[in-house]
């Protein structure tokens, strides 16, 4: 079985994101926001069958851990109330997809974060997604300010109410920024990479995993790139280094690395136990690589082509590690396959 740990609903019907634009434009005046669009089952089915499901089949992957489009979370664009409503709508769409295609998709939720707003604000929607919708994880935006980084680091106690619920619920968090409203940062080319590098260094230089030894954080695509500085640099800053081992019990890296040399570096620097197969297909990096004729985001090819990986290594990357990092996956798969 091949589990793709990183997919977003990037092919949603147009009116979905259009509604968000109206909501943002209303600037908190709820009466100026139109009712959310009634998206039919047929429209959802078409968007998936011609989208992620088609690509799953073409590439021979089996299951996608699927969440709302992260670039559209834009937590910085509206207030907390609006972001709660937007997260509910996005997550409910994901749930409908998972129920329509129970063998192919399992849900991960968007949190209704907002700049400067305590994380406790996210708990009701998180609980709903896990207990009512059957989701197996959540996306955590390390910078809900969209490129200005004015909220506290992920390792600050500010975030603990969220982590406490994650640990209670046996739920991993995936570190994933949204779009950037700072003109300095290209969204996918800079803000995404920077977000992952920043989060990882926060983890490395903190006591977070003393406090949350069971927390599981799945770092988002490209994250590993920053991690390259870690392989060889355990001694950073003053004082004793945090043991890298501790970190590797809690932090995992996915394979959204869109070329062969990069994937091989990932496999050289990060232990196989910490690598999760992922493509983020139909995502930020589309199109054919003119050098190889492959789709950039057909990341299975790169893993298959790493010469020194054994069959056992590949099984861990493609399936075993995901089952370990996403503990709710097993029961969810059993349940969904009976739907």
Widest Cα–Cα separation across the chain: 60
Based on the shown chain and the rule CB under 8 A, indicate whether residue 246 belongs to the binding site for its own copies: no
User: Binding segment for its own copies among 42-50, 61-69, 261-269, 327-335 (CB under 8 A)?
Assistant: 261-269
Measured from the CB atom, the residue of 23 and 113 that comes closer to its own copies is 113
Binding mask 57-96 for its own copies (x = CB under 8 A): ----------------------------------------
The answer to whether residues 275 and 299 touch, using CB atoms and an 8 Å cutoff, is no
Backbone angles phi, psi at 108, to 5 degrees: -130, 140
Instruction: Convert 170-198 to b/e letters by CB count within 10 Å (16 or more is b).
Output: ebbbbbbbbbbebeebebbeebbbbbbbb
Choose, by CB under 8 A, the member of 100, 123, 181, 269 that binds its own copies: 269
Q: Which of 15, 280, 304, 334 is catalytic?
A: 280
Based on the shown chain and the rule CB under 8 A, indicate whether residue 202 belongs to the binding site for its own copies: yes
Based on the shown chain and the rule CB under 8 A, indicate whether residue 182 belongs to the binding site for its own copies: yes
Q: How many CA atoms lie within 13 A of 257 on its CB side?
A: 25
Active site annotation includes 280 = yes
Based on the shown chain and the rule CB under 8 A, indicate whether residue 3 belongs to the binding site for its own copies: no
User: Binding segment for its own copies among 2-10, 75-83, 219-227, 271-279 (CB under 8 A)?
Assistant: 219-227
Based on the shown chain and the rule CB under 8 A, indicate whether residue 116 belongs to the binding site for its own copies: no
Choose, by CB under 8 A, the member of 222, 252, 318, 326 that binds its own copies: 222
Based on the shown chain and the rule CB under 8 A, indicate whether residue 293 belongs to the binding site for its own copies: no
Choose, by CB under 8 A, the member of 92, 121, 141, 188 that binds its own copies: 188
Active-site positions read 280
């Amino acid at each position: 079985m091949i589990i793709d740990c990183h997919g977003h609903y990037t092919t949603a019907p147009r009116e979905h994101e259009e509604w968000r634009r109206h909501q943002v434009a209303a600037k908190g005046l709820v009466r100026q926001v139109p009712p959310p669009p009634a998206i039919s089952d047929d429209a959802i089915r078409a968007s998936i069958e011609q989208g992620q499901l088609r690509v799953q089949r073409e590439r021979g992957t089996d299951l996608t851990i699927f969440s709302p489009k992260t670039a559209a979370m834009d937590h910085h664009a509206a207030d907390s109330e609006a972001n709660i409503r937007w997260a509910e709508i996005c997550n409910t769409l994901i749930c409908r997809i998972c129920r329509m295609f129970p063998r192919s998709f399992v849900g991960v939720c968007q949190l209704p974060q907002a700049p400067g707003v305590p994380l406790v604000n996210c708990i009701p929607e998180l609980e709903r997604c896990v207990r009512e919708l059957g989701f197996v994880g959540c996306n955590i935006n390390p910078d809900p300010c969209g490129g200005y980084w004015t909220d506290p680091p992920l390792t600050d106690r500010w975030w603990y109410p969220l982590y406490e619920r994650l640990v209670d619920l046996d739920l991993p968090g995936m570190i994933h920024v949204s779009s950037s409203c700072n003109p300095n940062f290209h969204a996918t080319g800079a803000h995404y990479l920077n977000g992952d590098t920043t989060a990882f260094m926060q983890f490395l230089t903190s006591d977070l995993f003393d406090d949350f030894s069971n927390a599981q954080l799945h770092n988002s695509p490209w994250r590993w790139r920053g991690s390259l500085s870690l392989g060889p640099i355990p001694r950073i800053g003053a004082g004793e280094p945090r043991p890298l081992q501790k970190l590797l019990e809690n932090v995992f890296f996915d394979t959204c690395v869109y070329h062969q040399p990069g994937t091989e570096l990932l496999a050289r620097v990060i232990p196989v136990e910490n690598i999760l197969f992922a493509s983020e297909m139909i995502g930020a990096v589309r199109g054919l690589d003119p050098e190889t004729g492959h789709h950039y985001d057909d990341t299975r090819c790169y893993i298959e082509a790493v010469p020194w990986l054994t069959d056992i290594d590949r099984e861990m990357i493609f399936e075993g590690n995901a089952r370990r990092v996403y503990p709710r996956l097993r029961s969810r798969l059993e349940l969904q396959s009976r739907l």
